[in-house]
Structure 1
Amino acid sequence: MSIAYSPFNESLWKDPWPTYKQMRASDPVYYIEEFDAWALSRFEDIWQVSMEKTRFTATQGTSPEALLLDPTTPPKTFLFMDPPQHRKHRNLIGDRYTPAAVATLEDEIRETTRQALQPHLRQGSLNVNALVSSVALQTIANYIGLEFDEITYIRQMIDEYYTREPGHKGTTDSGVRAFEHASAFIHQIIAKYRARPAAQGSHIHAWMQSAIDDAQMTDDEIFFSIFALVITGSDTLPLTVAATLYYLSLEDSNMRAVRADNTLIPNAFAEAARIDQPTNILGRVLSEDVEMHGKKMKQGQPVLFLYASANRDEREFEDPEQFQLYRKSRRSLSFGAGQHFCLGQHLARLEGRVILEELFTQLGDFEVQRDQSERIFGEFLQGFCYLPVTFNPLP
């Protein structure tokens, strides 16, 4: 059977796994004729390409929409830079995301989680995604230097920006308008802090007070940096925490094991991120000709990294279609790899662990209502966007 793959093929979004498996087996460097682009589906190939520093560039975008639909030059943020500029810009805020720095936030994140849980305890039900989103937004708002109401509005605009309509490739007209609203709103915030400096230690303060190669960051550069970090800081965590609970609930023995031993939570979180990775596709553009598996890829062509496929590669993982609570993976692509590995991976792991610990502690023997769950699908993000749990209300 021939393979017909495109990241915008909506018929594949709900169940891409048979196609991904076929691509890994017979066409791991797949040519997408419609876009004159390539898609890599195997773990080892994506891992090795992620380590590249010269032949694959991020300067022309990394999302499928940017690479395949939008010919404009992407904004100047470290997400879309190559060495040495990538490291210089990333280092402006990088010290806040080291394991040691992140570890100091555990008590703060736990208290934020408990406060977010409080209104739900007497109701006997809650939406996991909404709860986690609230905690994640509060945390990243503190990092960036935003007020909670400010980041909540930005998040609403981002949700509209990523809403997809059947039959339409990429951002909708309403999504474009949402982006414009977010841009105007964030530029107002930047103007406020130009007049009155942001709190020391915040990202906004670092971006405004630092210079790279004797050049200050412009308002547009700061806007795109804020926009990008709100996305990365609050998109994937709710999806992954929800996936963790969903997959644990499929086997009573797994749920019982985690209830009895919360030290298994990091394992469960990592396995959920592997089997149901929210950021399912990113990519680069070839800066020179490259040959892989007998395929000759040309300079200037986009190359998609199918992370969701790679994380179910039977060459890397035993029984990859199974959620295994005790799996010990040698490597992971759940947070990317190489120079562009996720800056906030240590923060995400801490937030995920603390939130899940509090859910198991505060809610008792809760039930995951899988039949009421909902998923989002798209060329960039996918996963459980609504996952209700029920429990005995507290008096």
Structure 2
Amino acid sequence: MQHSGTHSSEGWENEGALSGLLIADFGRVLAGPYATMLLADLGAEVIKVERPATGDDTRAWGPPWSDGQATYFQGVNRNKESVTADLTAEEGRAAARALAMRADVVVENFRPGVMGRLGLDYDTLRESNPRLVYCSITGFGSGAGAALPGYDLLVQAMGGLMSITGDPDGDPMKVGVALVDVITGLHAAVGILAAVRHAARTGEGQRVEVNLLSSLLSALVNQAQGYVGAGVVPLRMGNRHPSIAPYEAFRTQDRLLVLAVGTDRQFGALCDVLGLPELARDPRFATNDQRVAHRDELCIFVGDRLGMRPADHWFKALMDRGVPCGPINTIDEGFALAVQLGLDPVAHVPQKAAPPPGLGQDEAVTPATLATVANPIRLSRTPAVYRSGPPTLGQDGPAGSIPGEAGSGASGTGASWSEVGLGVSS
């Protein structure tokens, strides 16, 4: 479905598993845009609805900058169109509503209740669009936590992630990326796909709700289940694992090396390579539960021996014996490793420029490509497609310029973007 005629690839609608799916994206910052970018990579048409003049908050979140755009924005907004709508004005609300009523999917992360005041809530839209899948992303749900601001850092703190992150003798630490937003975006994408499948079978849409706090608690997996199932409240352990040993970082002669020894066989191989075969037969270390119980003693033996040689020596020797280990790389080294392994971690997408004055959108030129992080999902028959780089603000016109029946206009009080916005990012 070429609703606006601005796609960078002819016949793009035949590419991707989700081709033909139209998503009206009212999300901003990270969780929502990440979800819709993944779906766009898989073929969906995503129309990003932004406030005039400023657009998505992350357009201004630099440095770093690339091609005049904040790399934060670039990281989650490829393969999308951008239209603007002033939701504080009747005309803007009417245009946004007309788009939403034609869409297969609506994604939004405003504060609970705001979309209802704008006439863009699920109950209103489904009257005219019963197949609509409507995904709402909030910080703490739509009930008692509806008024709480939903930012990744707050949820890392309030949901317990920071309490288990960092040195046991230091302060709690946040993870080095807005991980809760990313996890929530993944949950949103899964929920959307499940609901789209249901709509295809039954003709019935539904509401999909995800929130940052619930997503984090689910993502705490073994740590959360340890509390729910056994009443154990975990504490910070630095790089150690609560249930496995040796499973942490050790200092070698020149730098840190991580060991991830998860089986008795791997532990035996580790002991052989270290020249300490007797450790594998020591009753204190013969099984994993005993190694965990005597972790401090074990780590003295292992750490002393690892400190005798450089990390590269141990990496080769241990990996040759099937012992999981690796250096702590910087991000550039992580990308280099992925390239070395043939994982193609970088995709190059056409960066569509805004047209010069006097030219229509369809006459816009396509300059050099933009490097972007590749979609990690590999599909053998319908792989991810990279049609265009992140859009410039409003490059596809105001929301009302998108072909389609005009809506009747939203009723209600309206609200300013600053009042209704829900940022979901660190």
TM-score range, shorter chain: under 0.3
TM-score when normalising by structure 2: 0.22
TM-score when normalising by structure 1: 0.23
Structure with the higher fraction of residues in helix conformation: 1
Larger of the two Rg values belongs to structure: 2
